Chains A and B, each alone.
Chain A
Amino acid sequence: MARKILVIDDDPDVLLAMRLPLERAGFEVIDALNEDEGLEKAKSLLPDLIILDVMMGTHTAGFQLAQELHGPEAPEALRRIPIVMVTAVHQTTPLRFRPDSDYLPVEAFLEKPVDPRRLLEEVHKLLPPE
Chain B
Amino acid sequence: MQGHGSAPGPELSGSPQPDEALPSTAWLLIALRWAAGLSILLATAIARWGLGIDLPWGALFAIGAAVLAYNTALAWDARRPARPLSAMRRALWVQIALDWAAMTALVHFTGGIASPALIYFVIHVALAGTMLAPRGARALALLAAALVGGLAALESSGSLAHVSLHSLGLDSDLYRRGEYILAVLFFFTTTALTVAELVARQAQRLREREARIHAMSEAQAAFTRAATHELRAPVASSLALVRTVEQGYLDEMTPPQAVIIQRVAERLDGLRELIDDLLDYAASREATLSRRPLEPVDLGAALSDSVERERPLAEEKPVTLRVQPGEPVCVLATDPGLSMVFSNLINNAIKYTPSGGEVTVRWVVDRPAGWASVTVEDTGMGIPADDLPRIFEEFFRASNARKSRVIGTGIGLAAVRAMVEHYGGTIALDSVEGQGTRVTLRLRLAPSEKSFPSLPSP
* A interface residue numbers (CB < 8 A to B): 11, 13-14, 16-18, 20-21, 24, 88-90, 92, 96, 98-99, 111-118
Please, which residues of chain A bring their CB within 8 A of the CB of B249? 20-21, 24, 116
Given contacts A90-B280, A96-B335, A98-B305, contact A13 B250 (CB under 8 A): no
| Separation of A41 and B275 alpha carbons in the complex (Å) | 34
Q: Determine if A113 and B237 form an interchain contact, defined as CB atoms under 8 angstroms apart.
A: yes
Please, which residues of chain B bring their CB within 8 A of the CB of A111? 309
Please, which residues of chain B bring their CB within 8 A of the CB of A116? 240, 243-244, 247, 249
Residue B276 is within 8 A (CB to CB) of chain A in the complex? yes
Q: Residue on B with the closest CB to A19?
A: B244
Can you list, as one digit per residue, whether each of B294-312 has a CB less than 8 Å from chain A (1) or not (0)? 0000000000010011001
Residue B272 is within 8 A (CB to CB) of chain A in the complex? yes
Summarize B's interface: helix, strand, loop or mixed.
Answer: helix
B36 to chain A, nearest CB (A): 51
B289 to chain A, nearest CB (A): 15
Q: Determine if A17 and B309 form an interchain contact, defined as CB atoms under 8 angstroms apart.
A: no
Q: Determine if A90 and B279 form an interchain contact, defined as CB atoms under 8 angstroms apart.
A: yes
Please, which residues of chain A bring their CB within 8 A of the CB of B247? 21, 116-117
Please, which residues of chain B bring their CB within 8 A of the CB of A24? 249
Listed A/B pairs (13) with beta-carbon separation below 8 Å: A13-B238, A14-B240, A17-B244, A18-B240, A20-B244, A89-B276, A89-B309, A90-B232, A90-B280, A114-B236, A114-B240, A115-B240, A116-B247
Q: Residue on B with the closest CB to A11?
A: B237
Given contacts A90-B280, A92-B225, A116-B249, contact A11 B243 (CB under 8 A): no
| Separation of A111 and B73 alpha carbons in the complex (Å) | 56
Q: Determine if B237 and A13 form an interchain contact, defined as CB atoms under 8 angstroms apart.
A: yes
Q: Determine if A113 and B236 form an interchain contact, defined as CB atoms under 8 angstroms apart.
A: yes
Q: Residue on A with the closest CB to B237?
A: A13
Q: Determine if B244 and A21 form an interchain contact, defined as CB atoms under 8 angstroms apart.
A: yes
Given contacts A113-B235, A113-B236, contact A13 B241 (CB under 8 A): yes
| Separation of A99 and B240 alpha carbons in the complex (Å) | 21
The listed residue (B225, B236, B309, B343) touching A14 by CB distance below 8 A is: B236
Given contacts A20-B244, A90-B280, contact A113 B272 (CB under 8 A): yes
Please, which residues of chain A bring their CB within 8 A of the CB of B309? 89, 111
Q: Determine if B243 and A115 form an interchain contact, defined as CB atoms under 8 angstroms apart.
A: yes
Can you list, as one digit per residue, whether each of B203-233 has a CB less than 8 Å from chain A (1) or not (0)? 0000000000000000000000100010011
| Separation of A99 and B305 alpha carbons in the complex (Å) | 9
**Best-buried of B225, B275, B305 by chain A (most CB within 10 Å):** B305
Q: Determine if A11 and B276 form an interchain contact, defined as CB atoms under 8 angstroms apart.
A: no
Give me the 3 closest cross-chain CB pairs, A-B, nearest first. A17-B240, A13-B237, A113-B236
| Separation of A119 and B232 alpha carbons in the complex (Å) | 19
| Separation of A118 and B279 alpha carbons in the complex (Å) | 24
Q: Determine if A90 and B276 form an interchain contact, defined as CB atoms under 8 angstroms apart.
A: yes
The listed residue (B241, B276, B335) touching A16 by CB distance below 8 A is: B241
Please, which residues of chain B bring their CB within 8 A of the CB of A98? 305
Given contacts A116-B244, A117-B247, contact A14 B237 (CB under 8 A): yes
Q: Residue on B with the closest CB to A96?
A: B336
Q: Residue on B with the closest CB to A112?
A: B236
Q: Determine if A113 and B239 form an interchain contact, defined as CB atoms under 8 angstroms apart.
A: yes
Can you list, as one digit per residue, whether each of B264-285 has a CB less than 8 Å from chain A (1) or not (0)? 0000000010011001100100
Given contacts A20-B250, A98-B305, contact A92 B229 (CB under 8 A): yes
Please, which residues of chain A bring their CB within 8 A of the CB of B235? 113
| Separation of A17 and B244 alpha carbons in the complex (Å) | 6
Please, which residues of chain A bring their CB within 8 A of the CB of B236? 14, 88, 112-114
Q: Determine if A17 and B237 form an interchain contact, defined as CB atoms under 8 angstroms apart.
A: yes
| Separation of A83 and B249 alpha carbons in the complex (Å) | 23
Q: Residue on B with the closest CB to A12?
A: B237
The listed residue (A17, A88, A92, A99) touching B243 by CB distance below 8 A is: A17
